A and B are shown apart, each in its own frame.
Chain A
Amino acid sequence: MGAVIESTVATGKPNQDVFAGILQELATEDRDIVAVTSDSRGSGKLVTFGQQLPEQIVEIGIAEQNLVGVAAGLASAGKKAYAVSPACFLTARALEQIKNDVAYSDNHVRLIGISAGVSYGALGTTHHSLHDFAVLRAINNITIVVPADNFETEQAVKLSAQLDQPIYLRFGKKPMPLLNPDETSFEFGKGRVIKKGADIAIIANGETVYPALLAAQKLEKEHGLQATVVSMHTVKPLDTELLAELAESTQAMLTVEEHMVNGGLGEACASYLLQQSYHKPFKIMGIPDEYTVTGSQMEILNHYGISENGITEAALKLLKK
């Protein structure tokens, strides 16, 4: 596995567009699928869904606590409820409803966080979702998934319809590269190895997998270093088996995420590795513990080094090159 770089230049759709399309296909066949939105059918790409399947969409208005509570009630009565809302509001404003009405009550709601991370860019901190991994990791009985490309999104949405457990799916706004169109295996809780190499493991998810892959290419071309790149799409439950394997097979480990460094993917990995007594060069890349700079999504990510060059530099530093 390695000749995938060329395919990364292909441009796919935004993951939330793919989500909406697949959901509509599934809902046409399965009348128990219901989309629940908080005045977010436009940004959630559910306008067509609402037109084609008006009996299967519930509009709540801008009321996230109610959105999640209503979705829980729908789920308790046998509906496959997809609660769609901007990730920042869904996971902060309705956190207690997620904890109590969904996870604790085991109502199998599918929580869909759209425009996640810093997708809203210059709209600022109120609209950034950089806390969602952290808060949801602290709640049991919920799976947290962040697809890296359209393939993973399609698979995740299809699997979510059959999942007998609450799940949070996180999607961004920008068109995604196709990381590896030939890849066919996708499973919740199992990281997807995009590229293999023995020098360093770069573990990323969502929008950060692509720059991680570009960095791996640069490390190889310019420095002769081989990197493994993993799309750790499932933040919880974490693929600890793969982590252990990477800890054994590589010299250093680097995690990259569009989330604050506090409580996210990197800390989840670090916690596991340290408790398993793996001691090796390790770095968490993400948004530091500060309110973000102003800018577009790409400008913000670049500012914090979540870019081809930033990840390359971090990898070299870890490997003391």
Chain B
Amino acid sequence: MNEKELAQKSVEYRKKILKYIVGAKAGHTGGSLSCVDVLNVLYNNVLNVSPETFGSPDRDRYIQSKGHCVEALFVVLADQGFFPESDLETLCKYKSHYIGHPTRKVKGVEQNTGALGHGLPIAVGTAIAAKMDKKDFRVFTLLGDGELPEGSNWEAALTAAHYKLDNLVAILDKNELQITGPTNTVCNTDPVDEKFESFGWAVHHVNGHDFKQLNETFASLPFTAGKPNLVIAHTIKGKGISFMENQGKWHHGVPNPEQYAQAIEELDNALTLV
């Protein structure tokens, strides 16, 4: 998918994220909007996985450690044909499988996540299995910068380097805001690149909303043979909606009807500019 098509897709995804969050009266709006461009590129241009190949042992794996932003994942999976999009009308409703965090009851979801600091260790184990079996599949996991203080991330980072897992790709959705406020005021993990590099990872920075940069970055994997890969995606929480961007209150804010209408209008306008 070329950059223009990706840009159009992301506008579509953002509209759907808002639609289903409004319908559910719940959701992690800001973070879903910050990571959706990365998911867009992954599922449309990078990952070797589809509804037909989802059971294949050779498929690429995507594990969303940042489970809170499941709305972005669900919208992208629906677009990929893993399940009918109409299912998302049940999001967070009684007896729905489409709950507020990733669950394997939904086709396309590899692991149940939501509790933070879990995705990277599981991804490491899966990547080790690929190495053991001499398989070429890759394992991608999306981390939030707010979940980095969980020690399990750092335990897993050590193991990934120890086992030279260059088939592992961790993407850090670095929007720099978490529920309490700026991440560097809650628990500063910067300089995160130097930390991972010192652990033995190959690290690349990228503008997480720039499709050209994202395409080029993922096309250059592995960054260094024998090293696990960290893509630090610099993103904007609430990206695409003027009154949500960089506003901590939209961590899990739900738009009221007026806000929703304005957001959709802004996204429609953005579409005309693509």
Q: Which residues of A contact B (CB under 8 A)?
A: 34, 55-56, 58, 60-61, 63, 65-66, 68-79, 81, 96-97, 100-101, 104-107
- Top 7 A-B pairs ranked by shortest CB distance? A73-B125, A69-B121, A77-B129, A66-B155, A70-B125, A63-B155, A73-B126
Does A77 lie within 8 Å of B130, measured CB to CB? yes
| B122 CB–A CB distance under 8 Å | yes
A155 vs B155: C-alpha distance in the bound complex, in angstroms? 34
Q: Which of A55, A76, A100, A106 contacts B115 (CB 8 A)?
A: A100
| Residues of B contacting A34 in the complex (Cβ-Cβ under 8 angstroms) | 132
Interface with A: B89-97, B104-112, B196-204, B215-223, which one? Answer: B104-112
B60, chain A: closest CB distance, angstroms: 12
| Residues of A contacting B117 in the complex (Cβ-Cβ under 8 angstroms) | 65
A12 vs B151: C-alpha distance in the bound complex, in angstroms? 40
Q: Which of B118, B133, B163 contacts A100 (CB 8 A)?
A: B118
Excluding A97-B152, A106-B104, 5 further A-B contacts by CB distance (< 8 Å) are: A63-B159, A65-B155, A69-B152, A97-B121, A100-B118
| B57 CB–A CB distance under 8 Å | yes
Q: Which of B61, B118, B132 contacts A101 (CB 8 A)?
A: B118
Interface size for B (C-beta < 8 A) is 32
Does A73 lie within 8 Å of B118, measured CB to CB? no
| 20 contacting pairs across A/B (C-beta < 8 A) | A63-B159, A65-B117, A65-B121, A66-B121, A66-B155, A66-B156, A66-B158, A68-B121, A69-B118, A73-B121, A73-B124, A74-B128, A77-B133, A79-B132, A96-B118, A100-B112, A101-B111, A101-B121, A104-B112, A105-B111
A75 vs B111: C-alpha distance in the bound complex, in angstroms? 12
Q: Which of A72, A104, A106 contacts B125 (CB 8 A)?
A: A72
Q: Which of A65, A71, A74, A79 contacts B152 (CB 8 A)?
A: A65
| B127 CB–A CB distance under 8 Å | yes
Q: Which residues of B contact A (CB under 8 A)?
A: 57, 61, 104, 110-115, 117-118, 120-130, 132-133, 139, 151-152, 155-156, 158-159, 163
A71 vs B152: C-alpha distance in the bound complex, in angstroms? 13
Does B158 lie within 8 Å of A74, measured CB to CB? no
Does A78 lie within 8 Å of B57, measured CB to CB? yes
A61 vs B128: C-alpha distance in the bound complex, in angstroms? 15
User: Could you count the A-B residue pairs with CB atoms below 8 Å apart for me: how many are there?
Assistant: 102
Does A73 lie within 8 Å of B152, measured CB to CB? no
| Residues of A contacting B61 in the complex (Cβ-Cβ under 8 angstroms) | 76
Does B158 lie within 8 Å of A71, measured CB to CB? no
Does A101 lie within 8 Å of B155, measured CB to CB? no
| Residues of B contacting A106 in the complex (Cβ-Cβ under 8 angstroms) | 104
| Residues of B contacting A101 in the complex (Cβ-Cβ under 8 angstroms) | 111-112, 118, 121-122
Does B110 lie within 8 Å of A76, measured CB to CB? yes
Does A69 lie within 8 Å of B151, measured CB to CB? no
Q: In chain B, what residue has the closest Cβ to A83?
A: B125
Of the candidates B120, B123, B151, B159, the one having the most CB atoms from chain A within 10 angstroms of its own CB is B159
Q: Which of B57, B126, B139, B159 contacts A60 (CB 8 A)?
A: B159
A60 vs B104: C-alpha distance in the bound complex, in angstroms? 26
A56 vs B122: C-alpha distance in the bound complex, in angstroms? 18
Of the candidates B117, B122, B159, the one having the most CB atoms from chain A within 10 angstroms of its own CB is B122
A70 vs B124: C-alpha distance in the bound complex, in angstroms? 6
A197 vs B8: C-alpha distance in the bound complex, in angstroms? 77
| Residues of A contacting B124 in the complex (Cβ-Cβ under 8 angstroms) | 66, 69-70, 73
Q: In chain A, what residue has the closest Cβ to B123?
A: A73
Please judge, given known A-B contacts A66-B156, A100-B118, whether A71 and B125 are in contact too, CB under 8 Å: yes
A108, chain B: closest CB distance, angstroms: 13
| Residues of A contacting B111 in the complex (Cβ-Cβ under 8 angstroms) | 72, 76, 101, 105, 107
B113, chain A: closest CB distance, angstroms: 8
Does A73 lie within 8 Å of B128, measured CB to CB? yes
B46, chain A: closest CB distance, angstroms: 19
Q: In chain B, what residue has the closest Cβ to A56?
A: B132
A49 vs B112: C-alpha distance in the bound complex, in angstroms? 32
Q: In chain B, what residue has the closest Cβ to A72?
A: B122
A107 vs B113: C-alpha distance in the bound complex, in angstroms? 13
Q: In chain A, what residue has the closest Cβ to B156?
A: A66
